[in-house]
């Protein structure tokens, strides 16, 4: 393979793979899934739903976080935990109403 | 008078983001000129392009940092955060492309490189910068859309402008 072809292939590969992950918008409702990523400094979580959608959720002042019916702190959330989230769709923004840690 | 209250966390991004836009765009133009110009000033254009590239890439990383700070605030207020996500992804891709150009440009400083490899690296740098500039335009367009269409980071004054009396 000629050098310029290697460069163009590497560039195309880089552009296609270096990008971050796109998130999805869903209707208001209750969804179950796995915590994909936690950004504690922004009180933000990414949830991968059972049907493969990736939801980006920024906690608001009214978002409740519970485990076994008890309110818990944000620190309880960790990657890989199963959760049930109730979201309210405002425009294309998803506001988490409640997040329940299932396991 | 300068109002310290103006410098909210999300405003740091607006203050920092225009530096990489200008520096990286002109670094690409200058680098392109260094390729097509035939005169003795070729090396001067090349040096200018390198300087702009280094400064612009540092500014781009600073903007990524300030953008990340702003993200946590404006995402909770705007109506379509998917635009913000596209802006973020394009900005990261653009910054990585220009960082790649910086790395190759630094490799070019090794005198021991063969002329053929030097030529290939030079074209790779220009290619990275041109693709990076495309992402720069797209990122800027998304950023402008966030500010002017959704009011991201924009202070919303009261209806009667009472706080300015």
Tokens of B71: 């993200």
- pTM across the whole model: 0.86
Q: CA-nearest residue of chain A to B97?
A: A15
How far A15 CA lies from chain B's nearest CA (Å)? 7
Residue A100 CA neighbour count, 13 Å, CB half: 9
ipTM: 0.76
Residue B89 with chain A: CB contacts under 8 Å? 19-20, 22
Q: CA-nearest residue of chain A to B68?
A: A42
Tally A–B CB contacts below 8 A: 64
Question: Among residues of chain A, what percentage have pLDDT more than 70?
Answer: 81
Q: Which of B75, B100, B124 sits opposite A58 (nearest CB)?
A: B75
Chain A contact for B92 (CB, 8 A cutoff): yes
Nearest to B73 by CA among B123, B11, B24, B121: B11
Q: CB within 8 A of B94, min separation 6: which ones?
A: B24, B60, B132, B135, B136, B139
Tokens of B68: 């990340």
Across B122-129, average pLDDT: 95
Nearest to B154 by CA among B6, B17, B22, B20: B6
**pLDDT band per the 50, 70, 90 thresholds, residue A81:** very high
Q: What is the pLDDT of residues A24-44, one digit of tens each?
A: 999 999 999 999 999 999 999
Q: Which of A19, A90, A93 sits opposite B89 (nearest CB)?
A: A19
Burial class (CB in 10 A: 0-12, 13-18, 19+), B35: middle
Residue A18 has pLDDT above 90, yes or no: no
């Amino acid at each position: 393979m000629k050098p310029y072809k290697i460069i163009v292939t590497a560039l195309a590969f880089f552009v296609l793979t270096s990008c971050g992950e796109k998130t999805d918008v869903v209707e208001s409702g209750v969804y179950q899934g796995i915590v994909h990523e936690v950004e504690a400094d922004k009180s933000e979580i990414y949830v991968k739903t059972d049907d493969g959608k990736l939801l980006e959720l920024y906690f608001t002042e009214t978002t409740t976080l519970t485990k076994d019916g008890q309110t818990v702190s944000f620190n309880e959330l960790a990657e890989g935990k199963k959760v049930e989230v109730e979201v309210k769709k405002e425009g294309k923004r998803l506001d988490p109403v409640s997040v329940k840690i299932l396991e | 008078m300068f109002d310290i209250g103006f410098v909210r966390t999300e405003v740091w991004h607006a203050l920092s983001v225009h530096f990489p836009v200008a520096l990286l765009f002109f670094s690409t133009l200058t680098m392109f000129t260094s390729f097509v110009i035939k005169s003795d000033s070729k090396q001067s254009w090349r040096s200018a392009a390198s300087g702009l590239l280094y400064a612009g890439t540092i500014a781009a990383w600073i903007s990524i940092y300030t953008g990340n700070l702003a993200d946590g605030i404006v995402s909770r207020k705007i109506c379509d955060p998917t635009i913000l996500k596209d802006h973020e992804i394009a900005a990261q891709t653009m910054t990585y492309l220009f960082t790649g150009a910086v790395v190759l440009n630094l490799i070019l400083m090794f005198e021991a490189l063969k002329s053929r490899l030097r030529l290939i690296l030079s074209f790779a740098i220009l290619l990275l910068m041109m693709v990076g500039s495309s992402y720069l335009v797209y990122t800027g367009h998304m950023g402008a859309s966030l500010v002017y269409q959704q009011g991201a980071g924009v202070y919303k004054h009261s209806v009667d402008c009472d706080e300015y009396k």
